[in-house]
Each structure stands twice: as C-alpha cells, then as structure tokens.
Amino acid sequence: METVVEVCRSAGGDQISQQPAKWLFLDLMNGVPRQKRGYPNIGLCLYCYAQHGPTFLRFATLNEPILLKKMTTEGYSVDEVTYAVCSLAMDRDMWDICRKWGLTITADRMARALREARSLCRQ
C-alpha cells in the first residue's frame, strides 16, 4: 500500500497524507508505546522513503513482493523479510530501527534473512 502511495506522489499526483503513521513512527523510535493500526509497516516505509527517496522506492517495488513470496515459503517471517528489504534498500543495517518499530527479529535469523534476500533480489 505504501508503495502505491509513493509511486502516485512521485509521478506528480497529490500526496496522500499519512500523518498518523509518521507520528506513530516517531513515538516508537522514542520509546513511546503505541498500537499500530491500518497497514502495519507504513510508518517504517515512509521513514525509509524520506531518507532514500526514489532509490528506496525502486528497490522495494522491484524486490519486496518477490522476496515475501519466496522467503516466507522457505520459513522466514514477514518481519524478517521486511528487515532484509529495508536494510538492502537503505544500504545499511536497519536492526535498531526495525526493532524499535516492533518487528520481531533475532540476530541469528536476521543475518540469514539478509544473506538470503541479497541472493534473491534484483537491483
């Protein structure tokens, strides 16, 4: 969903506001407990887009659906795949941000998910 929003916005369409998701992201990053509503990772994706712009959007658009399909059938969780997509798209380790966002990821599974995603993704 958030990819569609950013594609519309990047193509010159009106911005679809996700102000509540932005505040949710800031609260979670600052340790303020909040319950997620709606699409679960929109605040995380909006953060990544704000940091990396069209580069993040292009990478996520090309790879997230494929990685989710292949990796979840191989036993990876959606959270692990989301972490891997964000880390690869941002070209940095997103462990701390994804953990604060509430993704359930562990260090050993995180490293394996990242290796697997790297081998499957398209640039």
pLDDT tens per residue, range 1-54: 556 566 655 655 544 456 777 778 888 888 988 887 767 788 898 899 989 988
Q: What are phi and psi of 40, to 5 degrees?
A: -65, -30
Placement of tokens 């990876």 in the chain: 76
Q: What is the pLDDT of residues 92-105, one digit of tens each?
A: 999 999 999 999 99
Q: What is the pLDDT of residue 14?
A: 47
What interhelical angle do 2-10 and 42-73 show, nearest 10? 120
118 pLDDT above the threshold of 80: yes
Average pLDDT estimate for 55-63: 92
0.85 exceeded by the pTM? no
Q: Return the structure tokens found at 105.
A: 């990821």
User: Quick count: other Cβ atoms within 10 Å of Cβ 33?
Assistant: 7
